[in-house]
Amino acid sequence: MLPPLQDLYRIAPEIVLGAFGMLVMFLAPIIPKSRHGVLSAISLVGAALALAATRFTALYPGAAYSGLFRADAFSLFVHLIVIGVAFLAILGSTNYLKREDLDAGEFCALILFATAGMGVMAGAQELLTGFIGLEMSSIASYILASYRREAPKSNEAAMKYFLLGSFATAFFLYGIALVYGATGTTHLDLMGQAGAQTSATLLKMGLGLIFVGLAFKVAAAPFQLWTPDVYEGAPAPVTAMLSTGPKAAAFALALRILANVDAAGPLWFWALWAVAVMSMFAGNLGAIVQTNLKRMLAYSSIAHAGYILVALAAAAATDHPEAGIAAALFYLVSYALVKLGAFLIVAHLGGVGERNVEIEDFTGLARRQPAMAACLSLFLLSLLGLPVLAGFLGKFYVFNAALESNLIWLAILLALNSVIGAYYYLRVMVAMYMREPSKPIATEPVPWTLAVVLWITAAGTIYAGLFPTRIIGFAAKAAVNMR
């Protein structure tokens, strides 16, 4: 028996992504390797169609598959982030794959499959569905992290990502089992109503374990130990994807649980508070001493996970979580644009085998490649939170949400950490603009595919910084009606 058509409409983006992923895998052995650009092109069409399908899904809001999945403004918002990330990551990596002599077919297919998993997480209204989505995205990401098979660092990154990722998954799953035992359901909306018959201790333990699992996935301290190694060792375009898409999806799942399960807010609040503070300090203090740009950006992404967790803490602290949720969503957009662009620049400038990724190798970049230096500076300034750029408004909304929930200390620590962050972002800019190159590095021309991606991300960063009304308006709309 076929499910009702409306259910299929509501998972249209996942269907498109899955279909194109399989199509690309099917074509990969048929098309000769010299013409693998075609596969990237097909994947791009797939991602673009998935974006269109997301627009189509907006016409049919509501629950699908007897409440397992939900297509609403929130899931649409996150879909747009993760599919947009996939599109830009595929486009930005075409030249990288050619340069490193890697197979484009599987690469693009895996990104599409992972994105389908993230989409499932974004819409999951039931814990096991969320788990399946999490695993779809994680298992594809493990392979992607190890995509430079001959490079020992890439294997090592994949091993660490795989072992710690599965470890976290087991915690997440044990949490689901306990919550199921306590409430007799895994549907988030029913869990809220379960009320009297729930066993409070079991429910609390379950939610706690789910929190640990998700904190691992978003790379929040003290569960962040894998992040620097994985982000440094994985191929740079993969890192660009890993540090943006899966993180957005994991935050989406956390927000969905927070908005639906009444018991989660009070229980998670202090955990979120502590984890946010630890992540901000661990990320920023760790980044200061780094000499490798990829590793520095990895630490900075731990710090940014901390900033987003401040928004989650703000949402957990009140009965009106809308401001916190909207702030987190806006932050995810601004963060995804910037991190994607920065890692793709590193992928290009690193040269064959990613040899030139030390900060020393970026000295004098402004003279060699002024456009690249300007672009990277723009992204770093947005990460820093300079006004006019998206990163500033992201921090501003999070700060505001924290103040509205009376989290004065958290707001102060957020501001303090932004100042610490300025030090290491500016250090890279000083190296690019004010120092002489330490060794001669051949300049490679910027391929047009990468140029397009950088134009989009840079323009997006400025647009979201100057005219945030539409994005924050959409985020605010997404934040209501989540249950």
Partner 1 sequence: MVPTSYYLVLSAVLFGLGVVAFVFKRNIITIFMSIELMLNAVNLAFVAFSRALGQLQGQVFVFFVIVVAAAEAAVGLAIIIVIARNRGTLDVERVDSLKH
Identify residues 221-260 at the interface with partner 1 (CB under 8 A).
228-229, 232-233
DSSP run (H or E) holding 153: helix 152-183
- In this complex, which beta carbon is closest to partner 1, that of residue 239 or of residue 334? 239
Does 166 bind partner 1 (CB under 8 A)? Our answer is yes
Does 305 bind partner 1 (CB under 8 A)? Our answer is no
Q: Single out the segment in contact with partner 1 by CB under 8 A; choices: 17-25, 41-49, 157-165, 430-438.
A: 157-165
Structure tokens belonging to residue 131 = 């788990």
Tell me which of 43, 54, 146, 457 binds partner 1, using CB under 8 A: 146
- In this complex, which beta carbon is closest to partner 1, that of residue 122 or of residue 234? 234
Q: Single out the segment in contact with partner 1 by CB under 8 A; choices: 75-83, 170-178, 330-338, 441-449.
A: 170-178
Q: What are phi and psi of 355, to 5 degrees?
A: -85, -30
Q: Single out the segment in contact with partner 1 by CB under 8 A; choices: 71-79, 177-185, 306-314, 379-387.
A: 177-185
Does 14 bind partner 1 (CB under 8 A)? Our answer is no
Residue 185: count other Cβ atoms within 10 Å of its Cβ.
Answer: 17
- In this complex, which beta carbon is closest to partner 1, that of residue 145 or of residue 311? 145
Tell me which of 67, 103, 155, 368 binds partner 1, using CB under 8 A: 155
CA distance 194 to 188: 10
Residues contacting 246, CB < 8 A, separation 6+: 114, 118, 137, 138, 141, 217
CA distance 153 to 229: 9
CA distance 120 to 114: 10
Minimum CB–partner distance for residue 322 and partner 1 (Å) = 32
CA distance 455 to 447: 12
Identify residues 108-137 at the interface with partner 1 (CB under 8 A).
128, 131-132, 135
Tell me which of 65, 174, 396, 433 binds partner 1, using CB under 8 A: 174
CA 252 to each of CA 131, 144, 172, 483: distance values in angstroms, whole numbers, following the listed order: 13, 22, 15, 13
Q: Single out the segment in contact with partner 1 by CB under 8 A; choices: 85-93, 100-108, 147-155, 430-438.
A: 147-155
Does 355 bind partner 1 (CB under 8 A)? Our answer is no
Contact criterion met (CB below 8 Å) for 357 and 344: no
Tell me which of 112, 173, 191, 454 binds partner 1, using CB under 8 A: 173
Contact criterion met (CB below 8 Å) for 128 and 186: yes
Does 285 bind partner 1 (CB under 8 A)? Our answer is no
CA distance 148 to 138: 18
Within 218-321, residue ranges assigned H as helices are 226-233, 236-242, 245-260, 264-288, 293-317
CA distance 121 to 80: 13
Angle at 257 between CA 255 and CA 261, to 5 degrees: 130
Does 29 bind partner 1 (CB under 8 A)? Our answer is no
CA distance 96 to 300: 24
Does 207 bind partner 1 (CB under 8 A)? Our answer is no
Q: Single out the segment in contact with partner 1 by CB under 8 A; choices: 87-95, 160-168, 241-249, 319-327.
A: 160-168
Beta pairing partners, 63: 70
Does 157 bind partner 1 (CB under 8 A)? Our answer is yes
Q: Single out the segment in contact with partner 1 by CB under 8 A; choices: 117-125, 159-167, 301-309, 387-395.
A: 159-167
Site residues (vs partner 1, CB under 8 A)? 128, 131-132, 135, 139, 142-143, 146, 149-150, 152-153, 155-160, 162-163, 166-167, 169-170, 173-174, 176-178, 180-181, 184, 186, 228-229, 232-233
